[in-house]
Amino acid sequence: MLAALLRFNFLGGLYMSFLSHLISGVSLGSIYAIIALGYTMVYGIAKMLNFAHGDVIMVGAYVCFFAVSRYDMPVIPSVLLAVAACTALGVFIERLAYKPLRSAPSLAVLITAIGMSYFLQNSAQLLWTSNPKVFSSVVGNGSVKFFDGRLSISYNVIVTVLACIIIMSVLTWFTGRTKMGKAMRACSEDKDAAQLMGINVNATISMTFAIGSALAAVAGVLLCSVYPTLMPTTGSMPGIKAFTAAVFGGIGSIPGALLGGTLLGVIEIFAKAYISTQLSDAIVFLVLIIVLLVKPAGLLGKQVQEKV
């Protein structure tokens, strides 16, 4: 009787830890998914990889950090301020750096994007120094307990997953049901044809950068709420992971960003928990390579057959 109870507890503990890893994986994955949306939407419409996207996350986190800790602003206005700042920054970057290269070879645009990424990082270093700031979670550090306290889910996790679900639902509605959203899809499919419909392609591209950058700000705040060390390079690794997630799910596809992001987060956390902390990133990228070998367009990548 006692032995059976002990065994149950042991297995129950394993099960609980599995569940809690799964939950933190989904939560981390939600952040990747929100960032990946920015990559995938911009890629879908401008056919370019905006490598500065990760650094927009960092700027968003800094704006929120200073609003809260230096200017004592309440949390919600601070987050909104970060969103506004990043939206403006994203549109500005597109105008300044990418728009003049609209008809340039894609390699030139790629190099410009990498340059923009370093420019943002170095500007942040100049403005805010490279000393790490300690970001305090925007939702507090509490948690909700389940199963007599054997499983606890932090507010961070709950808010992150909720934010991801809300963002995905709104975007799905936007691109599927609204005129502007459909115009965005039309541009991503065929820019010349979209122009012949009377769609202003430049304005649509600007709007896409605005949406992606606003999401980057949200992701930055959520990310730093979980991993509180804020430095000018904070956005770079999550940016690359989210880019990986976008490719993993099928670049250009919004559901793909969600799937790729979530899977990537779960794989990363499981690899950390059950295999090796040091190797977790290597494992993540190994999975990506395997997926791309089997399915080069990514999990939900679109390959529409064209009829003649």
Partner 1 sequence: MLKVEGINVYYDAIHAVRQVSLDVDDGEIVTLIGANGAGKSTILRTISGLLRSGAGNIYFMNESIRAMPPHKIVERGLAQVPEGRRIFLRMTVEDNLEMGAYTQKSDGIRGDLERVYTLFPRLKERRKQVAGTLSGGEQQMLAMGRGLMSRPKLLMLDEPSMGLAPILVEQIFSTITEMNREGTTILLVEQNAQMALSIAAKAYVLETGRVAMQGDARELAVNEDVKKAYLGH
Instruction: Report the interface residues with partner 1, using CB under 8 A.
Output: 179, 182-183, 185-186, 189-190, 192-201, 302, 304-308
Q: Which is nearer to partner 1, 70 or 307 (CB)?
A: 307
Give the count of beta carbons closer than 10 Å to the beta carbon of residue 116: 21
* Tokens, residue 81: 């301020």
Q: Which is nearer to partner 1, 2 or 304 (CB)?
A: 304
DSSP 8-class letter at 225: H
CB of 193 to partner 1, least distance (A): 4
CB of 302 to partner 1, least distance (A): 7
CB of 190 to partner 1, least distance (A): 6
CB of 49 to partner 1, least distance (A): 21
CB of 129 to partner 1, least distance (A): 44
CB of 55 to partner 1, least distance (A): 31
Q: Which is nearer to partner 1, 189 or 281 (CB)?
A: 189
Q: Please give the Cα distance from 55 to 58 (Å, whole number).
A: 5
Q: Which is nearer to partner 1, 44 or 261 (CB)?
A: 44
CB of 301 to partner 1, least distance (A): 12
The phi, psi pair for 22, rounded to 5°, reads -60, -45
* 284: nearest Cα among 257, 266, 297: 266
* Tokens, residue 263: 């899977």
Q: Please give the Cα distance from 85 to 98 (Å, whole number).
A: 19
Q: Which is nearer to partner 1, 152 or 202 (CB)?
A: 202
Residue 234, classified by CB atoms within 10 Å of its CB into exposed (0-12), middle (13-18) or buried (19+), is buried
118-123 long-range Cβ contacts below 8 angstroms, 24+ apart: 119/52, 120/52, 120/55, 120/56, 120/58, 120/59, 121/55, 121/58, 121/232, 121/233, 121/236, 122/232
Q: Which is nearer to partner 1, 20 or 208 (CB)?
A: 208
H-helix or E-strand containing 100? none
Q: Which is nearer to partner 1, 67 or 194 (CB)?
A: 194
Placement of tokens 């990363």 in the chain = 268
